[in-house]
Chains A and B, each alone.
Chain A
């Protein structure tokens, strides 16, 4: 026969302080574990979702990012005119040759310098990146020293707010508009007219070509890759835009997950020890009670089960607290240099149902492991000795 679960709840209530202290320990561990998963998820979500699988990116062979890549005007023109690239109503191919450079700007508040991406774009860029929407001000006038800044950059960097100016390439650039991009990585960039920007840096070359693929996108990407490989005039690697941005997160993502796992593992051992101490104390405090339960006819395995249940409940309580605390982290935004691109990217901690469940499962496992030995001890107590202890 099973011991009712209300027995466990009452016990936990009776020893409120110990219960709280132990649960708090578990919740801190779960908080760290969940937060590291959320950080990684937030980073990947921001960067991977920057790319769309409808678009293809061409960068120079063996370069790993737009920053290292150089694409000549000639190959940009050849790539854009391939039949796999979608056309608009006017018969123009929907493609944009872009130039990407980094400039060192100072953060607001801290004065710390960081590298910000300046993307020189063409007239089709806003069509290809449908998530980019100008929320304040207006677009730049072609042929002028005007640029627009992503929301995150406008908030985080000196001189990047609406109407302010940034100086680079011996010119002052006025921010005439701010844009949103559905929380994607573009919000951490400054956009302007590709020709003007290339002139200012004295770089007559593009960095990449972005093309909207004609449907079906997947088949056309493969066809385009084959065509580019066969054409001696093109020395470019082609990626789905989504894959391209996914590759840009790897170093950081691996770092966060290695670090998160090592720290969580160490922390969880500490919490398990904490749970064990509490459960052993619970067992020894209730020796007489256990004897009584056994005398009433409850089996050893019921005793084992009830203490395991209590330990898991205790940890789950902590787990819930930890996940709740971690969910507050969704309000925290992180702005840091992405090591793959050497440029600033801002993102927020993001919680998914899967992560919340992992946090709770992690807590339950800690409770199960920590409660196992004490529960075994409880179940092994003999009736007579247990009743005799005072």
Chain B
């Protein structure tokens, strides 16, 4: 008990310094949490992927589309349970800065493929009945204030022309990390517009999504699908949904590496702040520690005193930091919502924050502990401030 009291009293001796140190640790924890949340945000799409879904795209790159005739051929591959298809639309809503994902899809099969999309307003029937109907995510609808029946004008960039879509359904995600900021509309409507404007270019699907009968057959089915189109004018590349999503992540791998380095630097900075404080305190109290040694206190006691104080300051900072993290991540997710639709504070980030503050406290206390323990009693008593 007395050790705890001594630790408390010691940390209260320089109230201002202790408070500043706690503040420093708290800020570092916030910075670390924000940076780590950002790194994780890149991977949410890959984590959402289902092991029984494959994505088939043009072998050359995603910017090439595939003939609709591929659909029937893919369905014939043994192990394929269902097939749907969609096109990236890439339209502009009012201004280029209003970015959100838009897909032209075959609604009936697409909604069966993604059961995590749950229609919360409107219905399948009204959505299917209208040629230019569309479905938007809950978050997206809230962002632009869209309600059922509203008209969304889009200017096509890949498929030129002015488009108008009527909101007939709003969906929410069944899983906490389902993307609720996409817009979906009828592929057949897009195809019609393409046929009108560019006759001869209709009947093209951007990519196919396959549901497997058995998730373990992913490798075999991917190979079988790609083999079917080998040496055709539209060769394909089939991979699991996860690999497909990770392909997008790897495109930004240089940026992600940079952010990871930053998160290590944060730890270095908080370590410097903590170590500085602990070194100062130990230096000032050299004389006292020598007195304690003279009185017969063991090395373990002194070690406990110093590292205990370090742990107290760092732990307090960590707690405050975690408290501040929630609003900080909230703010960041608003600022970067165009880049990352899903961003939330994960339990693992909090775990890391606790671990880091513990390790930082122990490392910061190690140099002063060594100094105090290695100094002889006479040296310590002779020391001046």
Contacts and interface: CB of A to CB of B under 8 A. Distances in A.
Contacts of A7: none
Nearest to B255: A336
If over half of A's interface residues share one DSSP class (helix, strand or loop), that class is named, otherwise mixed; here it is helix
B259 A62 contact: no
Contacts of B272: 21-22, 24-25, 28, 274
A285 B268 contact: no
Contact of A25 (B250, B253, B269): B269
Nearest to B162: A62
Contact of A60 (B24, B160, B250): B160
Interface string B78-95: 000000000000101000
A272 B86 CA distance: 52
B14 to A, nearest CB: 8
Given A270-B269, A280-B17, A336 B60 contact: no
A101 interface: yes
B114 interface: no
A285 B158 CA distance: 69
Contact of A280 (B16, B157, B275): B16
B87 to A, nearest CB: 13
B369 to A, nearest CB: 16
Given A273-B20, A274-B272, A114 B250 contact: yes
Contacts of A281: 17, 280
Nearest to A288: B385
Contacts of A344: 251
Interface stretch (A134-142, A212-220, A260-268, A295-303): A260-268
Contact of B233 (A115, A202, A285): A202
A201 B64 contact: yes
Contact of A28 (B157, B237, B265): B265
A123 interface: no
A45 B332 CA distance: 27
A255 B339 contact: yes
B160 A63 contact: yes
Interface residues of B, number: 59
A61 B336 contact: no
A103 B60 contact: yes
A269 interface: yes
B115 interface: no
B35 interface: yes
B45 to A, nearest CB: 15
B76 interface: no
A113 interface: yes
Contacts of B27: 266, 269-270, 273
Interface in B1-45: 16-17, 20-21, 23-24, 27-28, 30-31, 34-35, 38
B254 A334 contact: yes
Contact of A17 (B258, B266, B279): B279
B231 interface: yes
A335 B60 contact: no
A314 interface: no
Interface string A319-344: 00000000000000011110000101
Contacts of B17: 277, 280-281
Given A64-B96, A336-B255, A18 B60 contact: no
A382 interface: no
Interface string B263-297: 00110111011011101100000000000000000
27 contacts: A21-B276, A31-B265, A32-B262, A32-B265, A39-B258, A60-B160, A62-B156, A62-B157, A62-B160, A64-B92, A64-B96, A102-B62, A104-B59, A104-B62, A115-B61, A169-B60, A170-B233, A202-B233, A259-B38, A259-B336, A262-B335, A263-B34, A266-B27, A277-B277, A281-B280, A336-B254, A336-B255
Which 4 residue pairs are nearest across A and B when measured between Cβ atoms? A337-B251, A266-B31, A273-B24, A336-B254
